């Protein structure tokens, strides 16, 4: 299976982005039609956020595009340039934070193409300013692990497993003045988060992001990758939190959730509304990163 998937990825990686996105949209709708649980969760999350359905329904196809855009990101050789256009907006905030000699924590929700954010950062900033370390949980399927790990470890980009060792790896990176990337709208394991409002509904929210900032003195920025229409590429948007990060864990989690809500409202057409954001936390693990 691993060999077949690797071969398929290599074949699809040669397709133009507009064609990959054209293939992905019906896949997103097929999954939506086939899974009643996914469909109900999708619509319930949209209703909680108060997003108009004509906007939110576009995210059904976007979820499929997120899947089919992975081959050119994951299958390219480590030394090869990104095969798509990526525009940067707000990159001066990264430069300012790094010029101060501080580490940098960058947060992104399940919005747009978050896979392209890390790889584009590595290409634009990694060589001169230090790698970005992203948090991940190893794939459950053993045959999938080598592909995922290779995709997330390349020049200027490293990956930290969702273990105590991975957390230590991120702290060391920040103390070296490097960058750490997290998805704070993931549901962490039990005991490693707090309940905080997310679109008005209590959601179990990680405290790791705030702890990393507070323990290392790192700067904090928001980042997300917008998928441009017609296969034109992506626009990576960088912004500030917009409010001081409270010292109290619950208040800090609420502030970060508000920031994630603000990003999602900028482009609800590309948020993963089907993500099980309000589920009960599972036991075990450390950081709560999803595949």
Instruction: Give dist(CA 60, CA 286) in Å, integer.
Output: 31
Residue predicted with more confidence, 3 or 242: 242
Q: Output the pLDDT for position 8.
A: 81
Q: Virtual CA dihedral for 6, 224, 227, 72, nearest 10 degrees?
A: -20
For residue 152, give both structure tokens. 């997330």
pLDDT tens-digit readout, 236-278: 999 999 999 999 999 999 999 999 999 999 999 999 999 999 9
Span 178-220, pLDDT tens digits: 999 999 999 998 888 999 999 999 999 999 999 999 999 999 9
| Alpha carbon distance 262, 241 (integer Å) | 10
Partners of 235 in the β-ladder: 87, 226
More confident residue, 123 or 78: 123
DSSP string, 174-208: HHTT-EEEE-TTS-PPTTSEEEEEETTEEEEEESH
Residue 138 near residue 148 (C-beta atoms within 8 A): yes
Domain ranges within the chain, ordered by starting residue: 1-267
Strand partners, 126: none
**SS3 state of residue 145:** helix
Distance separating alpha carbons of residues 268 and 48, to the nearest angstrom: 13
Taking only the tens place, the pLDDT of each residue in 147-177 is 777 777 788 888 888 888 889 999 999 999 9
User: Does position 96 have pLDDT exceeding 60, yes or no?
Assistant: yes
Backbone angles phi, psi at 286, to 5 degrees: -125, -60
Instruction: Return the pLDDT at 290.
Output: 38
DSSP state of 228: P
DSSP output for 19-61: HHHHHHHHHHHHHHHH-HHHHHHHHHHHHHHT--HHHHTHHHH
CA dihedral 71, 73, 74, 75 (to 10 degrees): 70
**Cα separation values, 207 from 78, 177, 187, 204, 236, Å:** 33, 21, 10, 10, 25
CB 132 within 8 A of CB 126: yes
Which H or E run contains 135? Answer: strand 132-136
Give the pTM.
0.91
Bridge partners of 225, per DSSP, are 112, 236
């Amino acid at each position: 299976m691993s060999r077949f998937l690797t071969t398929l990825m290599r074949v699809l990686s040669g397709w133009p982005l507009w064609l990959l996105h054209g293939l992905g949209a019906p896949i997103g709708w097929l999954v939506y039609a086939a899974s009643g649980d996914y469909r109900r969760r999708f619509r319930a999350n949209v209703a909680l956020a108060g997003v108009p359905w004509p906007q939110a329904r576009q995210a059904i196809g976007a979820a499929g595009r997120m899947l089919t855009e992975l081959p050119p990101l994951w299958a390219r050789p480590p030394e090869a340039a990104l095969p798509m256009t990526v525009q940067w907006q707000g990159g001066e905030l990264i430069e300012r934070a790094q010029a101060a000699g501080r580490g940098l924590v960058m947060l992104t929700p399940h919005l747009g193409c978050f896979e392209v954010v890390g790889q584009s950062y590595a290409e634009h900033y990694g060589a001169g300013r230090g790698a970005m370390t992203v948090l991940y949980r190893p794939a459950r399927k053993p045959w999938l692990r080598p592909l995922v790990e290779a995709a997330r470890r390349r020049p200027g980009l490293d990956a930290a497993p969702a273990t105590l060792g991975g957390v230590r790896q991120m702290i060391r990176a920040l103390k070296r003045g490097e960058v750490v990337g997290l998805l704070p709208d993931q549901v962490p394991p039990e005991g490693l988060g707090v309940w905080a409002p997310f679109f008005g509904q209590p959601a179990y929210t990680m405290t790791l992001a705030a702890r990393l900032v507070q323990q290392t003195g790192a700067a904090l920025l928001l980042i997300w990758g917008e998928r441009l229409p017609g296969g034109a590429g992506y626009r990576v948007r960088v912004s500030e939190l917009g409010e001081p990060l409270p010292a109290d864990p619950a208040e800090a989690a609420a502030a970060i959730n508000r920031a994630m809500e603000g990003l999602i409202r900028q482009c609800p057409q590309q948020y993963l509304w089907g993500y099980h954001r309000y589920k009960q936390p599972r036991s075990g693990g450390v950081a709560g990163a999803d595949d």
